Structure 1
Amino acid sequence: MDFFEQQDQAHRQTRKLLFLFLLAVIAIVITVNVSLALIWSWGFGGAHGSVAPAYPRGFFLVNTFVTLLFIAGGTLFETWRLRDGGDAVAKMAGGRLVMPSSTDVRERRLLNIVEEMALASGIACPRVYILDNEDAINAFAAGYHQNEAVVAVTQGTLSRLSRDELQGVIGHEFSHILNGDMRMNIKLIGILFGIQMIAGLGQELLYWGARFGSSRSRDDKGPPLQIIMLAVGAALFVIGYVGIFFGRLIKSAVSRQREFLADASAVQFTRNPDGIGGALRKIGGLTAVNHCGSRIDNPHAEQLSHLFLGAARPQLLSGLFATHPPLEERLKRVYGRNVAFLDASVMSEDTAAQKELPEGVYGFGARNVEAVRQAAIPPRSAVNMSGTQQPGSVAVQTDERRKMSFSPVLLQAARDTQFACALVYAMLLDRNQSEAFVVQQNLIRQVANSQANLAQQYLLEIEAMKNGVRLPLLDLAMPALKLLTTPERAQLLSLAAKLIAADQRMTQAEFVVLAVLERRLGPQAGRSVPVRYANVAALRSEVCLLLSLVAHSHTQQNIAEAAFMRAAAILPELEFSSADLMATASSDFFDVRQALEKIHQLAPLAKPFLIRAMLAAAARAPDVHIEAPVADLLRGVCAAIDAPVPEAVVNAGGISSN
């Protein structure tokens, strides 16, 4: 199942989950009314067992209204509290943000692995959190969409796993990012909070009821307030577990099959079954010691349980209500056979200091070539958009092609917030236009004088790189850029727009950089976009503009027409002809930005057809490698509409070393 199918399934599954949520609310309302009716009869009935007086007027109506208000208020409050997406979830779990420039050995290895995965996936590098107080092996990814994701791992994951195993865990979490699982998972946190918080209120009443003393003995007016508080608290605690029961039922309906998919994707990403397999085996080995090798002790563990790699709490019911499949079953799917658990004792310092690739060089899966041969698992680059393997793919060749080099100067800049801003400015400087270049330099000095010289230095480094490496470098800089405050982000975007306007025109390269920056750092970054268009037929002119822009990346008119018609064949409902190909002069990038805003609102299952059409228009002929400039354009389009970058585009962008 690909990203778009998962998004569509999430939309359809939402209706199912809302139905289960409605059942949970009805069950809670009934239980509340029955419980309070029994308490009223017992507490305010006549002395010596006389018949209880009639219930107050509107007794059940008030109970129902207050219960619904309580549930709705809790859900709305929690949803509002999670408005910042993955960062809010990570902080709720007790996470500490890892600075992109960290030099700690284990933190640096973790950051390097996340950067490798981001480069291989063609998405913005996620921010990384560590749960310092959790000694078990666990991890999660969270966010409203793939370019605003965070990845969090426990301290136990860092200290107990080898590099390959840690890479497998991160591959598992990247599957959740790329398959679009995260948005549904965050919605569940808010929705389920309302029905599960009643148990917390019951605990509070039990606590204060136990501390509240009273010397008054029971008389004809009923029991003392202390007894009533204890009775109501116990009732609410039991009622709350009705919510927890339905919460686990809902989460198990969502997460179990997705964990199998994420395990398989982790093997595919890393080309090493011993990566995620070894991590799961160590969770099993640790479980034999502490009854739950992936246990999370944070108070919000139950609330966040469906996000994690492994069960956050011991699973008393391993069947219908378990949020995760049994470890034995997951391992059997990874290895194709039963395997034993592994000892999860803390690694030695020698293992922790395992040799890395040279700084600035990323070799995705390069250490796992032999494992690939033995497991006969196709590398991710050998899989096309439909999921079928391409003939003649060789893992060793793929590993060599996937090595990407960056200048150490640029890599250091990408990991520091202020240097990353100068790096962005450098990407927009144009020395070919001397007058505009002077204007650009003056603009930078007026707003950020200290970064002007840095920008010129980085420009020299960027010009020495191969085409197609600029946007991957911008992806790596995203964790540092997201540390900017809201005013600082606004300043960065404003200055970027002014640098582009210095020569009173917008080039394709400038458009791409600005599109990525606005989507990831703008005021709307991280927010979900409503679906307004069911299919591309409603956006014929916008699609025509986009396909014409891609087709005109081929300078010869006859080649551009052939590329446009290849794209038109993928979207037959639009009935395009060669006459619909727009002239190059009409491809104004300001118009393209407006078109992308509408295309962003397409239904999930409509977007892959558009992306396939763009891929068809991008190549000079079928099955021909896409050139770097048009690959960058497609990256920018995918960033603007929150779609995953196709493998052919990732491979076109700077996959050879310097």
Structure 2
Amino acid sequence: MNFFEQQDHARRQTRTLIILFTLAVIAIVAAVNIAMALVWSWTQTGYVPGMRAYPKGFFATNTAITLALIAGGTLIEMFNLRDGGDAVAKMAGGRLVAPSSTDVQERRLLNVVEEMALASGIACPKVYVMDREDAINAFAAGYNQDEAVVTVTRGALTRLTRDELQGVIGHEFSHILNGDMRLNIRLIGLLFGIQMIAGFGQHLMDFGSSMWGARNRDDKGPSGRAILFVTGLALLAIGYIGIFFGRLIKAAVSRQREFLADASAVQFTRNPDGIGGALRKIGGLSRSMQLGSRIQHPNAEQLSHLFLGAPRTSLTSGLFSTHPPIQERLRRIYGRSVDVLDAPELPGDVASPDARLADIPYAATGFAEAERPSHWVAFGSEEYEARTLPPEIDSAVREPHAACAMVYALLLGEAERDTQLGILEKEAPQQASLVPFLAEAIGRLPKSARLPLLDLAMPALKQLPDSAKDALLATADRLIAADNKLTLAEFVLQTVLTRRLDPHAGRATPVRYARLEMLKEDCKVLLSLIAHVAAPGAGVPASALFANGAKRCEELALSASDLKPVAALDYAQVKIALDHAHQLAPLAKPALIKALLAAAGDSDPMPLATADLLRAICAALEAPVPPAVAATYTNYHWDQV
């Protein structure tokens, strides 16, 4: 199953979630009406149950109140989670790790996350640590891959080796790339809504217990205090229907995805002992300290379907468990039964430079071409020489305001430099003096490092308040417009930057186009652009490259004559085409990307300009970078702890 099939599977699981949620609501409404009917009967002395005896609108009122509680709870929780991954991480008690952190264990974690992000061509996620949790666990959360966060427990930092930590992060990147995260956040909101009845019942019980109730005038029947208490007790009991359905829904959508994420972690790292070792230590920690993957935070149950391992033990295991048994997961990873491992806290200097692995490029943690599954991006090719980032660049990508200066430095030109620096003196005086210094340092790096630098700077840039992000994007636009033209390099940087920092981009993009042929004109624009950019490096006419791309999408019925001339293309058209392509159904996107790759030619390695453009298009489509594109970029590492 490839990346796009996984995305489509996530969408179909959303439909399953809606069906199960609807069944849960129907069951709760029916139970509330039955319970309220019995309470009403109890309050009427000598009453014989019968529909005619109920007040007018009795059942309609019960139903309306129940639906209002469920809908209100869902909307409130979804509003609370409007910040996506950040909100979920804070809900679990996570602390944001500063990209500039000098803590050895946190530095090791940040480096591993950066490796995975660069390899997959996505923005580097923010990283959180749950400081009060000694168990081994982790989760990824967010509405899309451009605003994802990765959260790990303190126990994962102190008890796992670098390989094991890398396996855990690979597992979480699977959830980021396969479309699980948005579904998981929706699940939190929906389940909170259907469990609102229990909360309302608890409040009625508390109020009934504390109030001074009086009997009816004829001193017959139960007191108001008793009525409230019994009503609350009934609703609290009914609330467990919501809990039952909640567990059922979470089990229905999460268990198989854990198996897939485990397999993907092995494929990512080419090392079963990475994720396998982490799971074995979870098993050993459960046996020796009754800790394992257990999370102490009170929101652990609500977030249980997000975690690497089950955060709470429960009597309702098996069918209703959100996670498969550890031994079954290990059997699938190793192909046989294996013993669990002890998980003592490792020495404090385990991640220090003296104890680190030998300096190797990111590619060394990738997997061989023959073993590469079609839905995962490559970590590069092992023949690339590993390079270390200059200290000034390494520092700049980890601090928010310096990262802004680095973005401006990436946009600094030669002919228009004085004009651009004048814009910066006015628009960004705090960064203006730093920009030329960083531009000089960037100039000493290969051009293939430019987009990876932007990926690395994303966690720092995302720490900026929305107003500062808007100012950054506006200033970047002014720098680009300084010479009254838009170059390909500027368009690529602008596209990636906007997709990843614009607060309105990528949050809840609807699927408006089910088939690629619905975007025939947009496909002409994108294929024509790629063909014209790739033609000089490929040494063949743009029309031939366009025809190659058209052959990969027979449903479009395009030919070489449909190639748009350079004069007929402008970047406004391209932006519109990318916006439309972003709204394609998941299973329609692979055909477009394959066509674009075909139109890029067969050059090996792929020319940087072509690779940059394809990387920007993938960012706009929220798709991982294909191996042929990823192989263009030199791999970097720094203080690989």
TM interval, shorter chain, is over 0.9
Distance between the aligned counterparts of 1:173 and 1:597, measured in 2? 27
Aligned residues of 1:515 and 1:640 also touching (Cα < 8 A) = yes
Residue-by-residue CA offset, 1:404-462 (whole Å, 9 max, x unaligned)? 5322211110001010011000111111x2xx221111111111123222111111111
Q: CA deviation at 1:2?
A: 2.2
Q: Which residue in 1 is equivalent to 2:424?
A: 444
Residue 29 of structure 1 and its aligned partner are, at CA, apart by 0.8
Aligned-residue RMSD, C-alpha: 2.6
Is 1:300 matched up with 2:299?
yes
Q: How far, CA to CA, are the matches of 1:657 and 1:625 in structure 2?
A: 21
1:513 deviation in Å? 0.4
Q: Residue 99 in 1 paired to residue 98 in 2?
A: yes
**Matched residue, 2:200:** 201
Contact residue 564 and residue 581 of structure 1 kept, 8 A: yes
Deviation for aligned residue 1:216? 7.4
Map residues 218-237 of structure 1 onto 2, 5 A cutoff: 220-237=219-236
- Which deviates more, 54-63 or 421-430? 54-63
* Aligned counterpart for 2:592 among listed residues 583, 605, 610: 610
Letter in 2 for 1:157: A
Shift of 1:134: 2.0
Amino acid corresponding to residue 408 of structure 2 in structure 1? Y
What do the CA deviations read for 1:480-537 (whole angstroms, capped 9, x no partner)? 1111112211111111111111111111100000001111111313412111112221
- The alpha carbon displacement at 1:213 in A equals 6.2
What amino acid is the match of 2:529? L
Match of 2:400 in 1: 417
SS where residue 631 of structure 2 aligns? Answer: helix
Aligned to 1:328: 327
- Kept in 2, the 8 Å contact 1:554–1:620? The answer is no
Q: What is the distance in 1 between the residues matched to 2:533 and 2:21?
A: 50
Q: In structure 2, what is the Cα distance between the partners aligned to 1:384 and 1:29?
A: 50
Say whether the 8 Å CA contact 2:105–2:351 is kept in structure 1: yes
What displacement does 1:175 show? 0.5
**Partners in 2 of 1:389 and 1:129 — Cα distance?**
25
Which residue in 2 is equivalent to 1:364? 362
- Separation in 1 of the partners of 2:420 and 2:377? 47
Counterpart AA for 1:386: S
Aligned residue for 1:494? 474
The residue correspondences of 1:128-527 to structure 2 (distance < 5 A) are 128-212=127-211, 220-289=219-288, 291=290, 293-353=292-352, 355=354, 363-364=361-362, 366=364, 379=367, 382=370, 386=374, 398-399=381-382, 401=384, 403-431=386-414, 433=415, 436-527=416-507
User: How do residues 23-42 of structure 1 correspond to structure 2 at under 5 angstroms?
Assistant: 23-42=23-42
In the alignment, the residues of structure 2 paired with residue 257 and residue 611 of structure 1 have an alpha-carbon distance, to the nearest angstrom, of 28
Secondary structure of residue in 2 paired with 1:652:
coil
The aligned counterpart of 2:80 is 81
The amino acid of 2:462's aligned partner reads K
1:602 is displaced (CA, Å) by: 1.3
- Residue aligned with 1:558, SS: coil
1:209 deviation in Å?
Answer: 4.2
Q: Is the 8 A contact 1:139 1:309 kept in 2?
A: yes
Displacement of 1:473 after TM fit?
0.7
2:7 aligned with 1:7, yes or no?
yes
Change (3 A) 1:103 1:71: same
Unpaired segments of 5 or more residues in structure 1?
Answer: 369-377
TM-score (structure 1 length as normaliser): 0.91
- Relative to structure 1, the CA distance from residue 358 to residue 245 in structure 2 (aligned partners, 3 Å threshold; closer, same or farther) is closer
Moved more, 200-209 or 638-647: 200-209
Report the Cα offset of residue 155 of structure 1: 1.7
Task: Please give the secondary structure, in 2, of the residue aligned with 1:479.
Answer: helix
1:372 is matched with which residue? none
Residue 613 of structure 1 aligns with an amino acid whose one-letter code is: A
Q: Alpha carbons of 1:389 and 1:486: their partners in 2 closer, same or farther (altered >3 Å)?
A: closer
In the superposition, relative to structure 1, how do residues 213 and 112 fare at CA in structure 2: closer, same or farther (>3 Å)?
farther
Amino acid in the other structure paired with 1:582: K
In structure 2, how many angstroms separate the alpha carbons of the residues matched to 1:389 and 1:440? 36
* Counterpart secondary structure, 1:152: strand
Aligned-residue sequence identity (percent) comes to 57
The alpha carbon displacement at 1:136 in A equals 1.6
Greater RCO (CA < 8 Å, at least 6 residues apart): 2
User: How many Å separate the matches in 2 of 1:402 and 1:61?
Assistant: 71
Paired letter, 1:83: R
> Which residue of 570, 582, 596 corresponds with 1:588?
570
Cα 1:90–1:402 change in 2 (3 A) is farther
- List aligned pairs for 1:61-72, cutoff 5 A: 61-72=60-71
1:123 & 1:500 partners in 2: Cα distance? 23
Contact 2:215 2:224 (C-alpha < 8 Å) held by counterparts:
no
Cα distance in 1, alignment partners of residues 103 and 26 from structure 2: 51
> Structure 1 residues 607 and 329, CA, compared in 2 at 3 Å: closer, same or farther?
same
Asked whether the equivalents of residues 535 and 603 of structure 1 are also in contact (C-alpha less than 8 Å), the reply is yes
- Give the SS at the match of 1:609: helix
Distance 2:527 2:514 in 1: 19
Task: Give the Å deviation of 1:595.
Answer: 1.6
Note closer, same or farther for the CA distance 1:380–1:179 as it changes in structure 2 (3 Å cut): farther
Deviation per CA, 1:290-339: give whole Å up to 9, x if none. Answer: 54521222222222111111112113233221111111100011111111
- Counterpart of 2:561 in structure 1 is 579
User: Following TM superposition, by how much is the alpha carbon of 1:352 offset from its aligned partner in structure 2, in angstroms?
Assistant: 5.0
SS at match of 2:234: helix
Instruction: Indicate if the aligned counterparts of 2:208 and 2:225 stay in contact, CA closer than 8 A.
Output: yes
1:592 is paired with a residue whose SS is: helix
Q: Residues of 1 paired with 2:559 and 2:509: CA distance?
A: 32
Query: Following TM superposition, by how much is the alpha carbon of 1:176 offset from its aligned partner in structure 2, in angstroms?
Result: 0.4
**1:657: how far off?**
8.1
Displacement after TM superposition at 1:22 (Å): 1.1
What SS does the aligned partner of 2:533 have? coil
**In the alignment, what sits opposite 1:19?**
19
Query: What residue identity is the alignment partner of 1:486?
Result: D
Segment drifting more, 533-542 vs 378-387: 378-387
Q: 1:574 to 1:232 in 2, by over 3 A?
A: same
Q: Is the 8 A contact 2:142 2:182 kept in 1?
A: yes
Assess, with a 3 A threshold, how the Cα gap between structure 1 residues 415 and 656 changes in structure 2: closer, same or farther: closer
Matches of 1:461 and 1:609 in 2, distance apart? 39
The residue type paired with residue 35 of structure 2 is: S
Q: Secondary structure at the match of 1:554?
A: helix
Check whether the contact 1:218–1:224 (CA below 8 A) recurs between aligned residues. no
- Structure 1 residue 218: Cα displacement: 12
Cα distance in 2, alignment partners of residues 444 and 647 from structure 1: 37
1: CA distance between counterparts of 2:100 and 2:491?
Answer: 29
Structure 2 counterpart of 1:20, one-letter code: L
Distance 1:380 1:207 in 2: 62
Q: 1:188 offset after TM fit, Å?
A: 1.0
1:78 aligned counterpart, secondary structure: helix
2:386–2:637 CA contact under 8 A, matched in 1: yes
Given that residues 95 and 152 in structure 1 are in contact (C-alpha distance below 8 angstroms), is that contact kept between their aligned partners in structure 2? yes
